[in-house]
């Protein structure tokens, strides 16, 4: 049912609780001047919003925004009627996310209409608290608006605390020496949460200032003005904290990218150093192999040179009676010369090839 709470207040005291809108209008007219109706609607139909708009003279554009929902936080004045959109927030510790609600308020002389499209926040606690303070409630519709503003702003404190814990965890992760590439995803997600929180709260200081600027013109109660200044102070502090979170997370994202890049560069340097060391070892092995090959060539060359005279000497050292030139007078000198010539020829050949 759209009508979740409905009351007629006279001098801050609840006198009636009509069960439908028509009875509310009649009761307000019967109560006369000084009375105030506070109507709480949850997901109202177009017909119900039209009924309220016709009764209190609400502007069509404001009614259209309240009907559609999904509006940014804002304050708009249509003559003597205020239309306010608030974005309450709460922190989900299990999911580590910030969740948002949406509240629309119409306030004017003798009426307050609240419209919600989500289950949270529940304004029943605000209404109960105000009903225990008739003096404050008797200050009119702007006192109710100020109380709702104060409730929404105070509700941001747990969100700030939750975000602070998340930011501290990210800072600890960044400076513990263990760079996790996946941390950038968490930082980006948290930055998105903070930006969404900023969108919800950043209009609030301007809204409070606007109410204070129009306080004299529209006869706002002095105590309500004092409370608005308190709300303004809290809103400014909340927005400053959110701005600080955003700056910290943007710097953390940059720092994380730098650390990851540095870690990758260090890994590349280690790989390059290992590759260079491996290459140096390969060069040393190649040089040793080349030196070994040179030594083998020298040994082989000298072995071949020495083998030639050994071959001649071994042939003529055979114990056969019939051998060519065996009884020749110049046989011996010829054998010596042949051995020398063969050795010199081989030496020249190997020298030209660089083996010696």
Q: How many residues does this entry show for the chain?
A: 356
Q: Pick the residue with more confidence: 258 or 317?
A: 258
Q: What angle do CA 158, 163, 167 make, to 5 degrees?
A: 150
pLDDT band of 63, cuts 50, 70, 90: very high
**Residue 131 to residue 104: CA distance in whole angstroms:** 21
pLDDT recorded at residue 325: 65
Is-contact 279 207, C-beta < 8 A? no
Is-contact 91 98, C-beta < 8 A? yes
On whether residue 222 sits in a domain, the answer given is no
pLDDT tens digits along 88-113: 999 998 888 999 999 999 999 999 99
pLDDT recorded at residue 242: 95
pLDDT tens digits along 144-164: 999 999 999 999 999 999 999
On whether residue 343 sits in a domain, the answer given is no
CB atoms within 10 A of CB 47: 9
pLDDT tens digits along 13-46: 999 999 899 999 999 999 887 899 999 999 898 8
Mean pLDDT, residues 69-96: 91
pLDDT tens digits along 198-224: 999 999 999 999 999 988 888 889 999
On whether residue 83 sits in a domain, the answer given is yes
| Chain CA centroid to CA 57, Å | 45
Pair of tokens at residue 280: 């140096």
pLDDT recorded at residue 256: 74
Cα radius of gyration (the chain): 49
pLDDT recorded at residue 219: 86
pLDDT recorded at residue 134: 93
> Which residue, among 203, 192, 200, has the nearest Cα to 246 in the 3D structure?
192
pLDDT recorded at residue 198: 95
Is-contact 159 100, C-beta < 8 A? no
Mean pLDDT, residues 327-333: 70
Mean pLDDT, residues 162-172: 90
How many domains, the chain? 1
On whether residue 317 sits in a domain, the answer given is no
Question: What CATH number is given to the structural domain containing 85?
Answer: 3.30.460.20
| Whole-number Cα distances in Å, 174 to 2, 163, 171, 263 | 49, 17, 5, 13
On whether residue 116 sits in a domain, the answer given is yes
**Residue 58 to residue 16: CA distance in whole angstroms:** 23
* Averaged pLDDT of the chain: 86
pLDDT recorded at residue 348: 78
Owner of token pair 């609030």: 204
pLDDT recorded at residue 194: 94
User: What is the distance in angstroms between the CA of the first residue and the CA of the last residue of the chain?
Assistant: 110
pLDDT recorded at residue 70: 85
pLDDT recorded at residue 321: 61
On whether residue 135 sits in a domain, the answer given is yes
Tally helices (H) and strands (E) across the chain.
Answer: 11, 9
Among the ranges given (186-195, 246-255, 347-356), the one the predictor scored with the smallest mean pLDDT: 347-356
pLDDT recorded at residue 318: 63
Most confident of 22-31, 265-274, 322-331: 22-31
pLDDT recorded at residue 13: 93
49 has pLDDT over 80: yes
> Which residue, among 227, 234, 218, 160, has the nearest Cα to 194 in the 3D structure?
160
**Residue 215 to residue 193: CA distance in whole angstroms:** 34
> Which residue, among 193, 207, 309, has the nearest Cα to 242 in the 3D structure?
193
Among the ranges given (86-90, 124-128, 296-300, 313-317), the one the predictor scored with the smallest mean pLDDT: 313-317
Most confident of 1-5, 109-113, 279-283, 296-300: 109-113
pLDDT recorded at residue 208: 94
On whether residue 76 sits in a domain, the answer given is yes
40: containing domain: 1-145
Question: pLDDT exceeding 90 applies to what percent of the chain?
Answer: 51
Pair of tokens at residue 260: 């990851």
The two beta strands, 35-42 and 111-116, are: parallel
Residues 6+ apart with CB under 8 A from 228: 146, 149, 208, 211, 212, 215, 220
pTM over 0.75? The answer is: no
On whether residue 244 sits in a domain, the answer given is no
């Amino acid at each position: 049912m759209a009508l979740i709470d409905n009351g007629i207040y006279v001098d801050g005291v609840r006198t009636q609780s009509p069960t439908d809108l028509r009875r509310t209008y009649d009761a307000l007219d019967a109560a006369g001047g000084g009375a105030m109706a506070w109507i709480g609607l949850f997901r109202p139909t177009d017909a119900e919003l039209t009924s309220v708009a016709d009764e209190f003279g609400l502007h069509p554009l404001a009614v259209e925004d309240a009907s559609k929902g999904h509006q940014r936080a804002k304050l708009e004045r249509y003559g003597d009627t205020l239309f306010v959109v608030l974005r309450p927030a709460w922190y989900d510790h299990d999911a580590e996310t910030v969740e948002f609600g949406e509240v629309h308020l119409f306030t004017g002389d003798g009426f307050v209409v609240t419209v919600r499209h989500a289950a949270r926040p529940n304004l029943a606690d605000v209404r109960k608290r105000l009903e225990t303070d008739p003096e404050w409630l008797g200050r009119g519709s702007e006192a109710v608006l100020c109380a709702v503003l104060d409730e929404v702003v105070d509700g941001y404190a747990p969100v700030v605390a939750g975000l602070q814990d998340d930011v501290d965890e990210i800072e600890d992760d960044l400076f513990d020496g263990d760079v996790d590439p996946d941390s950038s995803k968490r930082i980006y997600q948290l930055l998105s949460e903070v930006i969404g929180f900023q969108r919800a709260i950043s209009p609030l200081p301007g809204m409070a200032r606007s109410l204070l600027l129009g306080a004299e013109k529209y006869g706002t109660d002095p105590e309500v003005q004092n409370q608005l200044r308190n709300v303004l102070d809290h809103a400014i502090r909340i927005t400053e904290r959110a701005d600080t979170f955003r700056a910290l997370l943007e710097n953390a994202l940059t720092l994380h990218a730098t650390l990851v890049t540095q870690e990758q560069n260090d890994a590349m340097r280690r790989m390059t150093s290992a590759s260079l060391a491996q290459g140096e070892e390969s060069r040393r092995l190649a040089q040793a192999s080349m030196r070994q090959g040179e030594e083998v060539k020298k040994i082989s060359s000298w072995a071949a040179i020495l083998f030639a005279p050994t071959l001649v000497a071994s042939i003529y050292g055979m114990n056969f009676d019939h051998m060519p030139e065996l009884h020749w007078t110049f046989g011996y000198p010829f054998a010596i010369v042949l051995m020398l010539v063969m050795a010199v020829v081989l030496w020249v050949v190997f020298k030209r090839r660089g083996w010696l």
